[in-house]
Amino acid sequence: MNTDTDIPTRIMSAADALFEQGGGIQFPTVDAVRKAARVSMNDASQVMKAWRRAHLAGPKPAPVDVPPALQDIHRAGLEALWRAAQHHASQSIANMQVAWDAERAETEQLNREMVVAFEAQAAELEHSNNERAACRQRIAELEAEAHAHLESMSRMSSDLSAAQAEVRTQSARAVEIQRRADELRTELDRTHAANAPQAAKDAASQTELAAVRAEMLHLMQMVSGAIGGRIPATKDYSEGKRQ
């Protein structure tokens, strides 16, 4: 588990690694170090200031023991030493000025990088907020569509129930009509069966009548032949038919 004391160490390690990867030519940006160390922007910026100052200052000179002969020369040539001291002081001031200018430039660069990083984060946050808003709007639209579909399905279910009820009613009517038709057919068959003997009797009478007519025609033809054809057979048949 990471603690607060681990944060500077991780930032320094990440900065050293990125600096070495870049060939030791250009300092890594705060945002790159922040991402590599997985820390906040404030922690990264604070530690990176110290890291850059340490790299700009360079190694400290090792202390040197002044030998006695040099001390004698120093005492003898105080004026020369004073001039050398003044020159050294001037050089130190110049070096400090250069270091201060470099640190100020580095600080300004760091501030610019922080501004760019914060603006990038703000843009990402705004983009994420817009996407979330679009998602919420789409969810609301889908919920409205689902509600409309549910209402449509409810209406269709009601219509289906009404249609099924109508089908049951028509089916019952069809059954009743079929039952009535069966009753009428049975009644008609019964009527035909009751009239069958009379129909047979009429048919027998017609057959008998036809036989009598044929016999009469035969007799008339015989009589006509006997009397020499003076009585027309057709006339006698007609008269017999009228009788």
Buried b (16+ CB within 10 A) or exposed e, 93-112: eeeeeeeeeebeebeeebee
Interaxial angle between packed helices 6-21 and 30-37, expressed in degrees from 0 to 180 and rounded to the nearest 10: 120
Tell me what the mean pLDDT of segment 16-22 comes to. 91
Return the top range by mean pLDDT from 35-39, 61-65, 184-188: 35-39
Which of left, alpha, beta for 228 (phi over 0: left; psi -120 to 50: alpha)? Answer: left
Instruction: Please report the pLDDT score of residue 126 as a whole number.
Output: 92
| Domain ranges, residue 44 | 8-55
User: What's the pTM value of the predicted model, to 2 decimals?
Assistant: 0.32
Tell me what the mean pLDDT of segment 208-212 comes to. 84
Q: What distances in angstroms separate CA 78 from CA 63, 67, 73, 136, one per listed residue?
A: 22, 16, 8, 84
Q: What is the percentage of the chain residues whose pLDDT exceeds 90?
A: 24
- Residue appearing with tokens 């009228």: 242
Q: What is the percentage of the chain residues whose pLDDT exceeds 70?
A: 85
Residues 79 and 64: beta-carbon distance below 8 Å = no
Q: Residue 11's closest CA among 80, 208, 29?
A: 29
- What's the domain count of the chain? 1
Return mean pLDDT, the chain: 81
Model confidence pLDDT, tens digit, residues 108-141: 998 898 898 889 889 988 998 999 999 899 989 9
Instruction: Please report the pLDDT score of residue 229 as a whole number.
Output: 54
Instruction: Please report the pLDDT score of residue 158 as a whole number.
Output: 87
Model confidence pLDDT, tens digit, residues 54-89: 888 765 555 566 677 776 776 777 667 677 777 887
pLDDT higher than threshold 90 for residue 177: no
Tell me, yes or no, whether 30 lies in a domain: yes
- Burial status of residue 205 (CB atoms within 10 A of its CB: 0-12, 13-18, 19 or more): exposed
Q: How many CB atoms lie within 10 A of CB 29?
A: 20
Q: What distances in angstroms separate CA 138 from CA 17, 127, 152, one per listed residue?
A: 45, 16, 21
- C-alpha to C-alpha distance for 97 and 103, rounded to whole angstroms: 10
Tell me what the mean pLDDT of segment 230-239 comes to. 49
Q: What distances in angstroms separate CA 94 from CA 54, 101, 191, one per listed residue?
A: 18, 10, 142
Tell me, yes or no, whether 102 lies in a domain: no
Residues 86 and 25: beta-carbon distance below 8 Å = no
The first and second tokens of residue 243, run together, are: 């009788």
Tell me, yes or no, whether 209 lies in a domain: no
Instruction: Please report the pLDDT score of residue 242 as a whole number.
Output: 46
Tell me, yes or no, whether 34 lies in a domain: yes
Count the alpha carbons within 13 Å of 133 in the hemisphere toward its beta carbon: 6
Of residues 61 and 205, more confidently modeled: 205
Tell me, yes or no, whether 64 lies in a domain: no
Tell me, yes or no, whether 198 lies in a domain: no
Residues 43 and 11: beta-carbon distance below 8 Å = yes
Residues 175 and 183: beta-carbon distance below 8 Å = no
The first and second tokens of residue 19, run together, are: 């600096």
**For the chain, what is the radius of gyration of the CA atoms?**
66
Tell me, yes or no, whether 152 lies in a domain: no
Q: How many CB atoms lie within 10 A of CB 220?
A: 20
Tell me, yes or no, whether 110 lies in a domain: no
Of residues 243 and 52, more confidently modeled: 52
Tell me what the mean pLDDT of segment 13-41 comes to. 91
Range with the lowest mean pLDDT among 23-37, 96-110, 222-236?
222-236
